[in-house]
Amino acid sequence: MHVAWFIMARMFRILCFILLAAMSAAAQNQQLTQQVQSIFPEAQALYLDLHQHPELSSHETRTAAEMAQKLRSLGYEVTEHVGGTGIVAIMKNGAGPTVMLRTELDALPVTEETGLPYASTVKAKDPNGREVGVMHACGHDVHMATLYGTATIMAQTKDQWHGTLMLLGQPAEETITGAKAMVADGLFTKFPKPDIGVALHDENGIAVGQVGVTPGYSKAAADSLRITVYGKGGHGARPESTIDPVLMAANIAVRLQSIVSREIHPGDAAVITVGYIQAGTKNNIIPDQAQMGLTVRSYTPEVRQHLLAAIERVAKAETEASGAEKMPLIEHYESTGAVYNDPVLTKHMAGVLESVVGKGNVVNEEPLMTSEDWAVYVEHGVPGFYFTLGVADPQKLAAAHARHAELPSNHSPLFAPVYGPALHTGIAAEVAVLRGLLKGNAGDVKKITEIKSPQINADKN
């Protein structure tokens, strides 16, 4: 009898503990919702301002100044011009871990066609001197407004976290050069090196109110190649007196596709895309040379190195087979490694996100072959958690799926996030993630990352 009473009493205590914990979590979520609502008007105003004043990669002077001024007014110690137009904002709040949260600053050379009343009408010169429309077609304006809202709440609720919060405004993500520039400029030597890094990216394939997580490889390594082949020009009616670089380039383009289909294991992800072939000035003139532009995508270092070596082999072999006297010029001018999410950290943070947005609103996403230079920070020893924020209208998304179609994606001139609800969800999610990490000490934070993550993305090119 006494044993039964003891068991019943113990079960009652456990039930009470669970009930109190649930009530406490609900109260915290309600408080966070109110905090987000209170700062939403400022975050919305910033979003609209940034959307109407986009700037191209490495030219984000107004954007960076605006973000720096706002973060400085919240009490952050702000350093500008890190790696070009980058900014670093630090808030120290006692002993504890250092956590980095990043946003991108740049927009794309895209002419907006959304027809929205706040649509961008900005024009600018691209690196080739051409006038182009400029638009936040990848949603970096959403990211910046979200980070600002998060930074505001974190500054106003320092009693709910401790440690060092490090905010990054990174330039030139779209050209995958900004992260490298910031690291080269002393990001991890002039400032505290983070124990963990966090980044968010919006996604029009997920309904607003939802977030997505991907443990392990999330985005692909990207390598941009420019191949120039050299022939012998002449009259188009006398091909026998020439060595045709256009034919040479065409043969290379076709032969490159067999690398993925015949040299890479079917279970390994790999893409080789020839984005352009440029040559000649007139239809009856065989030119002296032709140029090809390639993007190469992969996840693992082994596949990446195989692809790059095979491309060089094919280009040289086709050149020799054509009888050309000069070997091709192969320029590797942009690159970034694959984005890798620490699996243990991702699982832990998925639970944190579920407590805020609801379990059914945390979506497990498949890895994508798009790229992102967030990988640079991971390569420098910062365990990363990179997650996605849904910005799609749920009804429009459901209707698109019903007809087996997709909504305009990132980089489309029609990309139009449902920014209001997205900002609410994004700010709440980032605050919850940061509060979940900025407690305990640095040792506690490291316990929720893999003891030994795989060596990835080493850029040996």
Annotated domain spans of the chain = 18-220+339-447, 221-336
Q: What is the pLDDT of residues 12-70, one digit of tens each?
A: 565 544 444 444 566 678 899 999 999 999 999 999 999 999 999 999 999 999 999 99
Q: At 314, which helix (H) or strand (E)? A: helix 301-321
Q: What is the pLDDT of residues 367-378, one digit of tens each?
A: 999 999 999 999
pLDDT of residue 449: 72
> Which has the closest alpha carbon to 213: 90, 354, 330?
354
Q: What is the mean pLDDT of residues 119-134?
A: 95
Q: Which numeric CATH code is attached to 18-220+339-447?
A: 3.40.630.10
User: Which burial class, exposed, middle or buried, applies to 192 when counting CB atoms under 10 A from its CB (0-12, 13-18, 19+)?
Assistant: middle
Q: Above 90 in pLDDT, residue 260?
A: yes
Between 448 and 425, name the one with better pLDDT.
Answer: 425
Catalytic site includes residue 268: no
Q: What is the pLDDT of residues 319-336, one digit of tens each?
A: 999 999 999 999 999 999
Q: What is the mean pLDDT of residues 344-350?
A: 93
Question: What pTM was computed for the model?
Answer: 0.87
C-alpha span between 8 and 341 (Å, rounded): 44
Tokens 């060596």 correspond to what residue? 455
C-alpha span between 162 and 97 (Å, rounded): 8
Q: Buried b vs exposed e over 314-335: b needs ≥16 C-beta within 10 Å?
A: bbbebbeebebeeebebebebb
Q: Above 90 in pLDDT, residue 86?
A: yes
Q: Is the CB of residue 101 less than 8 Å from the CB of residue 198?
A: yes
- Where residue 439 falls among pLDDT bands split at 50, 70, 90? confident
CATH 3.40.50.300 fits 221-336, yes or no: no
- Where residue 282 falls among pLDDT bands split at 50, 70, 90? very high
- Among the options 60, 66, 106, 372, which is catalytic? 106
Mean pLDDT across the chain: 92
C-alpha span between 354 and 348 (Å, rounded): 10
Catalytic site includes residue 173: yes
Q: What is the pLDDT of residues 223-245, one digit of tens each?
A: 999 999 999 999 999 999 999 99
- Where residue 4 falls among pLDDT bands split at 50, 70, 90? low
Q: For the chain, what is the total number of helices (H) and then of strands (E)?
A: 11, 18
Strand duo 384-392 + 196-207: pairing: parallel
- Among the options 173, 195, 244, 373, which is catalytic? 173
C-alpha span between 384 and 339 (Å, rounded): 9
Q: Which amino acid is at 225?
A: L
Between 127 and 20, name the one with better pLDDT.
Answer: 127
pLDDT of residue 9: 57
For the chain, percent of residues with pLDDT exceeding 90: 87
Other beta carbons within 10 angstroms of residue 95's beta carbon come to 10
